[in-house]
A and B are shown apart, each in its own frame.
Chain A
Amino acid sequence: EDQVTQSPEALRLQEGESSSLNCSYTVSGLRGLFWYRQDPGKGPEFLFTLYSAGEEKEKERLKATLTKKESFLHITAPKPEDSATYLCAVQFIANTGNQFYFGTGTSLTVIP
C-alpha cells in the first residue's frame, strides 16, 4: 500500500498564481516529514523538515505546513524559476529501525 501520496502529479500555474501541493501519508509513528525540490537530471535539494502537527516553515515563496495526516507546500506568487518537481518524504520507526518513504512528486511548471 502507498505510504506517501502526492497530488496533483502535475501542476501548471501562471506566474503569480498561488497554489498548494499536497502530501498525504499513512504511516504511524511519524518522526519527520521532509520536502525537497528536484530539477531535471539533478539530485533533490532539501527544503524543509516538519516534525509535529501544526508546525509551519517558510522560505521565500514557499511555506510548508503539517497536520496529522498530510502536509501542504504552499507556493505564493510563483515565478518561472520555481518550476521543478517537489518531493515529500516521511521518516518513521518500523521494526527494522528508521525508515524513509518518498512520494512520487508533483511536477510544477510556472508559465511566464
Chain B
Amino acid sequence: DGGITQSPKYLFRKEGQNVTLSCEQNLNHDAMYWYRQDPGQGLRLIYYSQIVNDFQKGDIAEGYSVSREKKESFPLTVTSAQKNPTAFYLCASRTTGTGYHEQFFGPGTRLTVL
C-alpha cells in the first residue's frame, strides 16, 4: 500500500535538545510539507520542498530545519532554538503533475517538551 509514514508517533524532548522527526512516502510525490498543529489553530506551514535538494521556509520556520536528500524522505529537526515546540506535527505530500492536487497526510508525531 502506498502512503506516508511518520515516526515516532510520540516524542519527548528535554530542554536544549535537538530532535528529528521522520517522514517517508512511497507515493512517488515530488512535493513534501511539514505542518504544525496546535489546539484551536489551523495547520501552519513550517517548511516545504518541491524537489530533491531544494526546500523553502513556510510561515513558522524559525527553530526548525529540514533536508531533502531523497525524493521519499523529508526529515524535520526541531532545534533548541524553537522555544515552544510542544505540538502535533504533520507531514504531507502531493504530486506536482498537471493541474492542482490535494495533499495527503501522514499519521503525525506528537512532540512534548519535558
Residues of A within 8 A of B (CB): 4, 31-32, 34, 36, 41-46, 49, 51, 87, 89, 91, 96-98, 100-105
Contacts and interface: CB of A to CB of B under 8 A. Distances in A.
A34 B108 contact: no
Interface residues of B, number: 23
24 contacts: A31-B100, A32-B101, A34-B102, A34-B103, A42-B108, A43-B4, A43-B105, A43-B108, A46-B102, A46-B103, A46-B104, A46-B105, A49-B100, A51-B100, A89-B103, A100-B33, A100-B103, A102-B35, A102-B42, A102-B43, A103-B42, A104-B40, A104-B41, A104-B42
**In the complex, the 10 A-B pairs of residues with the closest C-beta atoms, listed nearest first:** A43-B105, A102-B43, A102-B42, A31-B100, A32-B100, A104-B42, A44-B105, A43-B108, A43-B107, A34-B102
Contacts of B42: 4, 87, 101-105
A42 B100 CA distance: 25
A71 to B, nearest CB: 14
Nearest to B44: A102
A11 B84 CA distance: 30
Contacts of B40: 104
B69 to A, nearest CB: 22
Given A32-B102, A43-B90, A100 B107 contact: no
B106 interface: yes
Contacts of B41: 104
Most chain A CB within a 10 A radius of its CB, from B4, B41, B42, B103: B42
A15 B103 CA distance: 31
Contacts, number: 51
A89 B43 CA distance: 9
B87 to A, nearest CB: 13
B61 interface: no
Contacts of B90: 43-44
A59 B108 CA distance: 25
